[in-house]
Structure 1
Amino acid sequence: MNNYFRLTRYFTATSLVAFTVVAATLMYFEHRQASFFQNVQASGARMLGGIQNEFVKRADVVARRDLLAVNEQGSVNLTRLFSNALWASDLSPYLAETSTVDFSVCKAMPDVVDAQGKASATPEKKECFKGAGAQLQALATFAPLDARVRETMRDSTIFKIKVYDLHGITVYSTEMAQIGEDKSGTSAWKVTRAG
């Protein structure tokens, strides 16, 4: 009987050790599996966050581009409506009369080139264009055109109106100081002129 109890004791101790080893092994693998899944989830979250950020950036670029295109097309349509409303009665006679003002003397004056190679008008050249602008404002057709433009703008969202001739000279602007300016050297004018 004594052997029976000793065998039971060894069996119990061995079973306890085996159970402890199996439990420790299972805990170790459970911990490794949990760490693996945490790493997979963290990696997935980072990847998803990156995809979302890239999507937001692209959507922002597209939204800005589309908004700009819609506003630009709206401005073009408004310009066409505005010019059609004023063309025959006010704008065409004024533009015909602007050809009597000679800008060739002002255009022939040399520009000053700065250290970066950028050309700009001398004070004398600016004054010449300003004087030619004053001549444009003195034309008989200017005052009726200006009054009609301002009347038309009153109930609209139009901020400013500028009209250039085919040589890049501002022949009309609701901002009077701009009348007579030469914009033929600007990239915006070149793009506009090219269509």
Structure 2
Amino acid sequence: MSDTLLLILDLAGIAVFASTGALVGVRKELDVFGVAVLAMITGLGGGVLRDLLIGAVPPAALEDWRYLVVPFLTSLVVFAFHPTFGRREREIMLLDALGLSLFCVTGAAIAEEAGLNVLSASALGMLTGIGGGMMRDVASGRVPVVFRGELYATPAFAGALIASVVHHQDWSQWWYVLAGAVCLVWRVVALQRGWSAPLPPGTTHV
């Protein structure tokens, strides 16, 4: 994957995730600073964790000003026009699924470039996708979505695994589209059909 395409996808994922974090902040009735912080945590958290684990320090989010400006500006837009965003819950969920698919692909590719094997790169790709949302939920006092039975981490791992194999085999960049599509479609279908991860026998989802 070219550096330019990787940067574009990374910033797009950050913007998408930042919007979901900002919306959570608005619904928690935080002030503009709190909304901005929650947006930046959501947009950057997974990537920062990935970079720290592969030894890429300082993380890209602190080296490139665009990684800080994109989620900050996104948070201001959501803060200013939150009634519009709040009425589009379905679209926000789709955006979150899109962000997940972008991050699992870019996270896996970056981990592969750092020299990790396919399985390890897949795990870090998944972490890139779910890490920011987990931090957002913990910071806002919610149970992280990955612990609520929803199929969230599994589609991310599937997309990351495909992206890792594509990068490892040096296949055409178009194969990354397949990796992202697998994650996106799986997540969207799971939302529409109410699919969830299995629970221990005798228990039910709350």
Give the TM interval when normalised to the shorter protein. Answer: under 0.3
TM-score (normalizing by structure 1): 0.25
**Larger strand fraction of residues:** 1
**Larger helix fraction of residues:** 2
Larger of the two Rg values belongs to structure: 1
TM-score (normalizing by structure 2): 0.24
Which of 1 and 2 has higher RCO (CA within 8 Å, sep 6+)? 2
